[in-house]
Structure formats: C-alpha cells, structure tokens
Amino acid sequence: MNLIERAGLAALHRIDPETAHGLSLKALNAGLVPLPGLVTSPRLACTLAGMALANPVGLAAGFDKNATALAALARAGFGFLEVGAATPLPQPGNPKPRLFRLTEDRAAINRFGFNNDGMQAIAARLQNRPRSLPIGLNLGANKTSADRAADFAQVLATCGPHVDFATVNVSSPNTEKLRDLQGPAALSALLQRVMEVRAGLATPIPVFLKIAPDLTPDEVAEIGQIALAAGLAGIIATNTTLSREGLKSAARDEIGGLSGAPLFEKSTRVLAQLSQATAGRIPLIGVGGISTADQAYAKIRAGASAVQLYTAMVYQGIGIAARIARGLDTLLARDGFASVADATGTGRADWL
C-alpha cells in the first residue's frame, strides 16, 4: 500500500463508514487515488461465462451501487466489475446508521436494504460505461414490491442492453423475506422469468445467481441443480452471512449481513460444496473474506473460475485488487499452472 493510500484510509476511518464510502467514490472520480491500470499476464488472462478477463479478480456488487465511478474503477486493476444492486424504483434503503466497521475482525456489517437510484438512472450511466473490461449489474427487488420476481425481470429488461452480465441477487439478508426466494419452487419460477427476458434481449448476456453462505449442503446442491436446469451462466458464492461466530468488535451484534475476514472459511466451504454438486458444469465465482493472493488462490482451487472483493478494500485500499492479481500470478507460476482454469478445483477436497 502506498503512502497516499495509507493516509487516505487513515482519514476515512476517522469518520462514519457510509460517509467515508461516499467520499472514496468522489476521490476516485476526482483522480485523487493512484490507479495501476490493467493487470494481466498469460496466466491471469481467462474467460468467465464466455467473457474475456484480463485477470480473474473482480469487484463485488455494493461498492459502486449506482454506477457512478466506472471510469476510475476500470483502471483499478480489476478484471471485471459488478455494480448495483439496482431495483425498478429508486429507494432510500433502511434507516441510518446501517454500515458498521468491525476493525478488530477485519469485517463489516451492513443493512443497507438495496438503497439505489433506480434502474432508469443506472441504465443511463451504464450506456456510457468503459468498454475495456466486462461490467455487470446486480439485480434487486423493491422492498414494497408485490411481485419481486417481476422486479428482477424488469431491471434486466431495462439495463440488460448496457451490461456484459447480470446477477440475480436473492441472498441479501437486508430485504425482508428476500432469501425466501432461494427455496426450490420460488427460485425456479424466478429464474424462468429472468431467463425469458434474457432471451428477448438483442444480445443475450450471461446471467449469474448469487447465493447465501447460510445454507446446508443439501440446499447448496439443490440450488446448483436448479441453476443448471435454468441455463444460468454461473453462480456467485457467496453473499454476506447472518452468523456472528467468533467476533470481537463492539459492533458485532448489529443487525445485517457480515462480510470480510470472518466469512472466508464459511463461504469457501459453500463454494467447494457447490463445485462438487455441479461437477464443473457451471462456472463459479468465489466471494467472501478475500484479502490476500493466497486466499484468492484458495477460492480458485476450491472451485472458482474467478473471485470478487469488496470489504478488504475498507482496510487495504483499492490497490488491493492489483496486488492480489499479481500475487495470484506468482502462485500459479509457483505451482506450475499455465492458467487459472488449470488450477480451478484442484484443492476442492480440502474444504469438503
């Protein structure tokens, strides 16, 4: 981490986390943050659901909810970006405070509740997005919607023409009863509606599903089969957790989803279970607790074709993406892998 990044983080950690998050986006757009540009190598270059990636390290949804900092983020060393979640109508989300740093645990708890500017505003920004890397959108549903499945389909219809992939997010714990859509019947019906909209796009794009870490092995396997049957292009494992096991920080009992270091083992285990259940028939994206190249590599060896980051940037700055990508290249070379795909799933048994 360079001195500018270190000083910026120290200053941001002195203020309210949500305010700090907003300021970090403004700093990116103002050109105040040193950015490494494209990070790639023959080993790092890979494909995900048919999309060419310079490297397999992506930005998870939630950092740039409203697609306001895409030009800067495209130069931050990531191989792909995911923005959102977007809902049909703008909504303020849950009352503040709703974001909490757990510094002792290198973690965060949020209960944002899909606060965003709405699909029309986000679609307008995505129309003018950078084309140097794949950019996707996390699809959400309005809190007051009577038909949440219709919301996901509507956001895809509106924003789908302007992105490279979309993610169905039924795993956020911060919208009441949203996780109920992970049940077999509800999930199958929802995915059918979304995939019908996808088929109607001028250029059909890959659709991913983002799942929760708080699932049993049987539930994980069942979701994997549903995703395969629906023709999805990939599964993102995982979203935040409701678990509070082993936390030390004062904010540990706040309501919301926990992300960061404590999620690593739980999310990686779900990833490995999903890899086993789907037997390599669908690409997986590993998310949850990654803060080092070794952890990104562990996700890949557990079954991921690519990974995503978010909370680690709170503690290590945006430069972490490039550092992890370069470190991952070194690890692949060390172990004799010519590509990310060659390493995918080779350590799955360690997590089962």
Residue matched to tokens 């949020």: 110
Cβ-contact 269, 243 below 8 angstroms: no
Q: Tell me whether residue 259 is one of the annotated catalytic residues.
A: no
Candidates 24, 145, 172, 267; catalytic one: 172
Residue matched to tokens 């929802």: 190
Alpha helices, H only, the chain? 3-12, 17-29, 70-73, 119-126, 148-159, 184-200, 217-230, 264-278, 293-302, 311-316, 320-334, 340-343
Query: Count of CB atoms within 10 A of residue 10's CB?
Result: 9
Residue 176: partners with Cβ closer than 8 Å, 6 or more residues away:
143
Separation CA 89–CA 118 (nearest Å): 5
DSSP-based three-state secondary structure for 317: coil
Token code pair at residue 145: 């919607």
Could you tell me if residue 114 is left (phi over 0), alpha (psi between -120 and 50 degrees) or otherwise beta? left
Phi, psi angle pair for 101, to nearest 5°: -80, 135
CA angle 115, 116, 121 (to 5 degrees): 170
DSSP-based three-state secondary structure for 272: helix
User: Active-site positions?
Assistant: 172
